[in-house]
A and B are shown apart, each in its own frame.
Chain A
Amino acid sequence: MTQNDVGTLLISLRKVTKTYGEGTATVQALNGVDLDIGQGEFVAIMGPSGSGKSTALNILGCLDAPSSGHYLFRDIEVDALTRNQRALLRRHYLGFVFQGFNLLSRTSAQENVELPLLYRGEDAAHRHEASRRALAQVGLTGWEHHTPAELSGGQQQRVAIARAIVTQPLVLLADEPTGNLDSKRGHEIMELLVSLNRDQGITVIMVTHELDMAAYASRVVRFADGNVGSDSMKVAA
């Protein structure tokens, strides 16, 4: 891959709101968010609990639809897409690491990691090889045949990361990918994300609570009360 050509607009949110619940019990999770992210960026999203970080990431990952506002992905109006078109967007461009892992239970790590490739129509040999490589990248060689119940929280988190990167997506969205890891493992994962970002040009958007993890990012976006509070770009890497 070539050097980062940071600057090409990849993602832009315009006045995005998200309201949960009905009547008096409504929660305004997002409150008119404007956010632009360029291709090849490594963005860390920070902010207090309940400030809408996960909600925003879900919308960016096309898993959830905003209540109002616009989401442009590579100049595509995501809100106008059909369900299937959004699914195809997820399939071909996005990798998502959930805050709660969301692995298939009673299914081996390798089968979990293979799944996105299966929906992409990759053949068995390639699935096999790519999933093993992704598991190796997150340090899980030898754990391929363990099911989530047989793995620690940190190991499950790494399986979830492997599943998100196995397709070499255009954008990797990770909701607290190091939340369950010790700091040594956390730094390893961060180096992995940095290298994916640097060497393969994968745009990384990551929610994190930890400052030393956010330090790996080239840009930190802070959320407060459902809006972008501050947005700081690091000058040089």
Chain B
Amino acid sequence: MNQMLLNALLLALRAIRRNLMRSFLTVLGIVIGVGAVITMVTLGNGATRMVSDQISSLGSNLLILRPGQQLGPGRESAGAANFRLTDVEALQAQIPSLRAVAPVVSSRVTLVVGSQNWSSQVSGTSNAYFTAGNWKIGAGRSFEEDEETAGKAVCVIGDTVRKQLFGSGSPLGGELRVKNFTCVVVGLLAAKGQGAMGQDQDDVVLMPIRTVQRRLTGNQDVSTVMLSMRDGANADQVMVQIRRLMRERRKLAESEEDNFNVMDTKQIAETLSGTIRTMTGLLGAVAAVSLLVGGIGIMNIMLVSVTERTREIGIRLAIGALEHEVLLQFLIEAVVLSALGGLIGITLAFVACLGLTALMNMPFLFNPGINLLAFVFSAVIGIVFGYMPARRAASLDPIVALRYE
């Protein structure tokens, strides 16, 4: 029995060596399929994790209030009135569960320092923004009270802006030209890195909101309000309180819909992660198709060689091989090839994922499940397509198999 297994192994290895090109193509088909599936799914998982990590770095207790109805297909926020600073004060005063309420109004501008210029987003806000947005001051300071109330030309800049405009020198005390005015850099934000959507979170300039309103937007509007809840606060309750207060302040009648919306960033995170998971699934499906195509390629190779293999089987049967001995040889051959392909595929996928996740600043989450699944699937494909034609041939009379054309 053992002897038979050894013989079958020997014959299988000889057959692989004898048909190097066919063996190579078979392995290649599996390598591509397995590699693609594992790479896609691993990258998808990494992306999901990255998004949720980064959104939670925003601060998990963050709500965002915007004018207009809840965004959705065909429901744009256009037309709804912006907020005022008094709304922000009312929210802060009347809802005790809110720790920090930061008004935000943004404008895209070109910044100039000496001969350097850089286009960036300037956001007018208050010191509450640092709390709400989970920002740390890396150097210098935040705004002082009189700077906020008087709308002085001071700013706190993000790390990217510093790099672009000040290079290696210290930005503190430096002067930044913004359109028609000059503002003094008083603080530098600690770097956060890439955002959930791949955007650079450090490419920001923060100013007191009154400064932006007076010098850049020219009105009293507040376009977004960021609200940070106290620890342990119930997001749903707080959102209800915010809605009630805002409906009252915006004098909405019973029958009217909200002309503003409150979003929970946790919810956004979940939605986003869900979206990415869906995309991962999709990519996985595409990759699965490539695995299938690899399988069909193998089938093709096997079918093309079926004439030769049938004659080979006829020869073996004619000189005294038993049907199951021949089948065992073919089974081993198929297993060896598909396992080899599977292992190479897994190794290549591992290397590719390591490189790509490093390149995209994503966490590399090794997923044993998908590795196993892809491997098993490839093995099944290899075995089915490698073994099935042999099964038919081995059941023929030797003379019929020998005459097969």
Q: Which residues of A contact B (CB under 8 A)?
A: 58, 61, 63-65, 83-84, 87-88, 90-92, 94, 96, 98, 102-107, 111, 115-116, 118-121, 163
Contact = CB atoms under 8 A, between A and B. Distances in A.
Contacts of A94: 320
B7 A121 contact: yes
Contacts of B321: 87, 91, 119
Contact of A116 (B18, B320, B322, B325): B320
B23 to A, nearest CB: 12
Interface in B40-68: none
B399 A163 contact: no
Given A96-B319, A118-B7, 14 more contacts: A64-B399, A87-B320, A87-B321, A90-B318, A94-B320, A102-B315, A102-B318, A104-B18, A107-B18, A116-B319, A119-B316, A119-B319, A119-B325, A121-B4
Nearest to B394: A83
A65 B397 CA distance: 8
Given A65-B397, A107-B14, A102 B402 contact: yes
B7 A58 contact: no
A106 B19 contact: yes
B398 interface: yes
Interface in B1-35: 3-4, 7, 10-11, 14, 18-19
A140 B325 CA distance: 30
Contacts of A102: 311, 314-315, 318, 402
B320 A106 contact: no
Interface in B301-327: 308, 311-312, 314-323, 325
Given A63-B398, A83-B323, A118 B18 contact: no
- Most chain B beta-carbon contacts within 10 A, residue among A83, A88, A94, A118: A118
B321 to A, nearest CB: 5
Given A106-B18, A107-B18, A87 B322 contact: yes
Contacts of A105: 18, 308, 312
A120 B320 contact: yes
A118 B329 CA distance: 13
B304 to A, nearest CB: 15
Contacts of B325: 119
A91 B320 contact: yes
Contacts of A91: 319-321
A104 B315 contact: yes
Contacts of B398: 63-64
Given A84-B323, A87-B320, A63 B399 contact: yes
B380 to A, nearest CB: 28
